[in-house]
């Protein structure tokens, strides 16, 4: 196999794997695929190693030699071929029947050369990489992110397919790209062959833009107006391709934009297209359209600090996290400090300066979390929270340093203007300091805000202590409170229970009224369920508890890890996944069973008037709708409550008996046709059938 200009990745392979690549190359040369892909594949690898992959992606590959092996092996098969043998780089329709474990369907193999190796699993992996390569923008539906290989290893096939697809896309002299450009020309201007098209333009350079961060610059000298227009259309195609791949693959690519700089020769181009007002888009993120409460920047910057501390703690087990917020005496600025991981130059470029990219959702986090002994959950999802600072700020100054890196000071006076980024000469501690300098016209408004009250509500269950210093220099420690009601309620009679979650924590509380002799009623306590994620308050909801239970029961739920819910961009609404809400409601219902059982056990030990006990039982029974009570709940629930639930169900059947035809055709009705399949429900229905049949016989 040909060796790339930069062999840093290739050198990671041992002799056995290098011999395996040689064998694959020989197999290709002896097949009808021939040798054209060999040179094209080497060009793709050179593009990847020289500028397209960033340090994070290279470290990702270096962590698994099989990823490197299959990257080189798949590059040998470039370019893929069409059914008629011609090369084509156009988008393919992804077959709907592709699965995570199957090979690509026969109908799709014609586009990627079928390739049989002695190791059948290697053949399957190469086929899946090819399927992802051809699917591109729909890669997430076409192939899984990873597949298992060689027992303990996995191959990141989505990432490998994306690397090759982008590298080929930016190789404007590759046969596939020339065919794509040819298809973008009007019929009258199309060259008879793709090779003739290459005579109409010359690529001067391709790589990272020297002045615009996260942008790929392609410099082209063009000699044909129609080809110029085709190149601009191809630029839009590459922009969409890059955007779609960055939404799918992990680690993401550093680049988020594509710029074709075309120098015309002997013609005058006129190009018009719709544009996006970047300033307006940024104002949408930072303005009241997204965030309704100006104080939200406090929460967002605290979240960033918590994530940074958690990440450093993963890498340094003995690390002690520290987060602080300090207000200046005249309240004209607020300073946030943390001793978390800090940022290097590449982190600033790749994540901080790219709206919508959060490092804490990157593949690097997955790798670090997998290697760490303690699994951490990270709060940041969208990478836009920092912009909320500009709800109140006229300027934001950030100092940051990562261990082993130089420190940086970033001054931001406006979100759609250039930032002033300088290397800090003095030695600053590892971590990040963000100073928000408030707008003059908002100073009086900010003085009236309940900063401390807002934070007490939003971060009281944060796992890391937050040192709050007000304008008078008074210190308050926030966070690290217990979610459990037992530890904060010292008065009255109450019943609490812990909900059954693997990683998350949840509690319910029921208060009752008593007269020092017995419980005589349930106390009204409307408040619903307060939901937190990673200790940060999200919202309060009333739909996780039955309506009648919501009159008397309140709850808290802190979601972490895999049990977290997707959030709206302002982090104030929960976007439940399919079946996720049903599972959580079931856990809350089981919690109600525990509370009600304890309530009635306590009540049974007291000497109560019969009418009072009956009233308590009826109120507690109203918590349980017979549609929600399955056999597992029924078998656990207090028997007096079960009797009440059965009576509810009997009344329902009596009112709606024609729906089931229980009286008219009791013999022929199918046992499951009415939809009530729990044992206790069947028993009630069977009893009602027998009673109805008896009435028919007597008549």
In this prediction, residue 653 carries a pLDDT of 81
In this prediction, residue 114 carries a pLDDT of 65
CB 552 within 8 A of CB 510: yes
Q: Nearest-5° angle of CA 508, CA 513, CA 515?
A: 145
CB atoms within 10 A of CB 515: 8
Residue 418's pLDDT band (boundaries 50, 70, 90)?
low
**Alpha-carbon span 266 to 108, nearest angstrom:** 43
The stretch 160-186 carries a mean pLDDT of: 91
- Is the entire prediction scored with pTM above 0.85? no
Only one residue has tokens 């008629």, namely 84
Average pLDDT over all residues of the chain: 80
**Residue 251 preceded by cis peptide, ω within 30:** yes
Nearest to 158 by CA among 135, 125, 129: 129
* Helices 120-135/157-169 angle, 10° precision: 50
Tell me the C-alpha to C-alpha distance, in Å, between residue 172 and each of 40, 179, 271: 11, 10, 21
Q: Does residue 683 register a pLDDT over 70?
A: yes
In this prediction, residue 319 carries a pLDDT of 92
pLDDT by residue (tens digit) across 240-255? Answer: 999 999 888 988 898 9
Please enumerate, as own/partner, the contacts of 453-461 that have beta carbons within 8 Å and a separation of 24 or more: 454/293, 454/295, 454/298, 454/299, 455/298, 455/299, 455/302, 455/325, 457/537, 458/298, 458/299, 458/302, 458/536, 458/537, 459/299, 459/302, 459/535, 459/536, 459/537, 460/535, 460/537, 461/532, 461/535, 461/558
In this prediction, residue 258 carries a pLDDT of 94
What's the sign of the alpha-carbon dihedral 673, 675, 678, 682? negative
The stretch 519-548 carries a mean pLDDT of: 91
CB 118 within 8 A of CB 77: no
The stretch 516-535 carries a mean pLDDT of: 90
Residue 565's pLDDT band (boundaries 50, 70, 90)?
confident
Please tell me the least confidently modeled range out of 121-130, 356-365, 532-541: 356-365
The more confident residue out of 665 and 307 is 307
Contacts of 609 (CB under 8 A, 6+ apart): none
Q: What residue ranges define each of the domains in the chain, with the CATH number in brackets?
A: 10-169 (no CATH), 175-264 (no CATH), 284-478 (3.30.565.10), 485-585 (3.30.230)
Please tell me the least confidently modeled range out of 48-52, 214-218, 675-679: 675-679
In this prediction, residue 89 carries a pLDDT of 37
In this prediction, residue 85 carries a pLDDT of 42
CA atoms within 13 A on the CB side of 621: 19
Q: Does residue 220 register a pLDDT over 60?
A: yes
In this prediction, residue 446 carries a pLDDT of 65
3-state class (DSSP) for residue 566: strand
Please enumerate, as own/partner, the contacts of 596-600 that have beta carbons within 8 Å and a separation of 24 or more: 596/620, 596/623, 596/637, 596/638, 596/641, 597/636, 597/637, 597/638, 598/495, 598/497, 599/495, 599/510, 599/512, 599/519, 600/638, 600/640, 600/641
The stretch 84-110 carries a mean pLDDT of: 36
pLDDT by residue (tens digit) across 105-164? Answer: 333 333 566 667 778 899 999 999 999 998 888 898 899 999 999 878 899 999 999 999
Q: Does residue 235 register a pLDDT over 70?
A: yes
**Alpha-carbon span 68 to 104, nearest angstrom:** 22
Q: Does residue 596 register a pLDDT over 90?
A: yes
In this prediction, residue 38 carries a pLDDT of 57
**Alpha-carbon span 79 to 169, nearest angstrom:** 11
The stretch 505-533 carries a mean pLDDT of: 91
Contacts of 616 (CB under 8 A, 6+ apart): 519, 521, 522, 599, 600, 603, 608
């Amino acid at each position: 196999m040909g060796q790339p200009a930069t062999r840093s990745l290739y050198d990671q392979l041992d002799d056995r794997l290098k011999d395996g690549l040689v064998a694959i190359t020989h197999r290709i040369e002896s097949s009808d695929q021939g040798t054209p892909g060999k040179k094209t594949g080497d060009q793709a690898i050179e593009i990847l190693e020289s500028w397209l992959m960033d340090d994070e992606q290279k470290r990702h590959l270096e962590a698994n030699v099989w990823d490197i092996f299959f990257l080189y092996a798949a590059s040998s098969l470039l370019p893929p071929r069409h059914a008629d043998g011609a090369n084509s780089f156009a988008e393919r329709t992804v077959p709907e029947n592709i699965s995570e474990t199957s090979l690509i369907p026969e109908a799709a193999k014609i586009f990627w050369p079928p390739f049989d190796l002695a190791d059948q699993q290697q053949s399957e992996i190469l086929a899946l990489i090819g399927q992802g390569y051809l699917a591109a923008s729909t890669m997430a539906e076409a192939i899984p992110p990873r597949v298992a290989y060689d027992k303990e290893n996995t191959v990141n096939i989505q990432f490998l397919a994306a690397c090759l697809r982008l590298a080929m896309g930016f190789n404007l002299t590759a046969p596939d790209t020339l065919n794509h450009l040819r298809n973008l020309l009007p019929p009258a201007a199309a060259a008879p062959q793709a090779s003739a098209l290459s005579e109409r333009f010359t690529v001067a350079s391709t790589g990272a833009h020297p002045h615009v961060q996260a942008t790929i610059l392609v410099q082209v000298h063009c000699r044909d107006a129609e080809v110029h227009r085709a190149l601009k259309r191809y630029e839009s195609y590459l922009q969409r391709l890059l955007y779609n791949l960055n939404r799918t693959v992990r680690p993401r690519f550093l680049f988020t934009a594509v710029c074709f700089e075309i120098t015309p020769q002997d013609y005058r181009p006129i190009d018009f297209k719709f544009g996006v007002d970047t300033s307006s888009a940024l104002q949408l993120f930072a303005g009241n359209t997204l965030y309704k409460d100006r104080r939200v920047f406090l929460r967002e910057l605290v979240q960033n600090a918590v994530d940074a501390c958690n990440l450093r703690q993963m890498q340094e087990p003995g690390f002690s996290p520290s987060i602080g917020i300090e207000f200046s005496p005249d309240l004209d600025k607020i300073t946030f400090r943390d001793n978390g991981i800090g940022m290097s130059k590449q982190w600033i470029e790749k994540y901080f300066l790219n709206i919508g990219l959060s490092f804490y959702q990157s593949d690097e986090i997955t790798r670090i979390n997998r290697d760490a002994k303690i699994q951490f959950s990270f709060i940041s999802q969208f990478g836009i929270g920092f912009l909320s600072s500009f709800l109140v700020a006229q300027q934001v100054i950030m100092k940051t340093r990562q261990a082993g890196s130089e420190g940086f000071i970033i001054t931001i006076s406006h979100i759609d203007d250039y930032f002033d980024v300088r290397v800090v000469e003095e030695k600053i501690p590892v971590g990040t300091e963000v100073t928000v300098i408030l707008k003059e016209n908002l100073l009086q408004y900010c003085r009236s805000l309940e900063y401390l009250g807002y934070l007490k509500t939003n971060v009281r269950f944060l796992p890391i202590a937050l040192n709050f210093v007000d304008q008078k220099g008074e210190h308050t420690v926030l966070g690290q409170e217990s979610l459990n009601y037992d530890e904060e309620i010292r008065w009255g009679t109450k019943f609490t229970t812990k909900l059954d979650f693997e990683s998350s924590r949840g509690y319910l509380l029921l208060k009752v009224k008593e007269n020092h002799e017995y419980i005589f009623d349930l106390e009204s306590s409307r408040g619903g369920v307060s939901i937190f994620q990673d200790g940060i308050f999200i919202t309060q909801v009333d739909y996780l508890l039955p309506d009648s239970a919501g009159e008397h029961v309140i709850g808290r739920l802190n979601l972490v890890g895999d049990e977290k819910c997707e959030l709206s961009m302002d982090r104030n609404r929960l976007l439940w996944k399919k079946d996720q809400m049903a599972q959580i409601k079931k856990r809350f219902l089981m919690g109600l069973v525990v509370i009600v059982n304890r309530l009635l056990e306590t009540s049974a030990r007291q000497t109560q008037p019969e009418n009072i006990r009956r009233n308590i039982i009826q109120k507690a029974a109203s918590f349980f709708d017979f549609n929600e009570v399955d056999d597992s709940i029924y078998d656990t629930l207090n028997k007096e409550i079960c009797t009440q639930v059965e009576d509810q169900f009997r009344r329902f059947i009596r009112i709606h008996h024609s729906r089931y035809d229980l009286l008219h055709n009791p013999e022929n009705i199918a046992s499951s046709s009415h939809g009530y399949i729990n044992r206790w429900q069947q028993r009630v229905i069977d009893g009602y059938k027998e009673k109805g049949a008896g009435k028919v016989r007597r008549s």
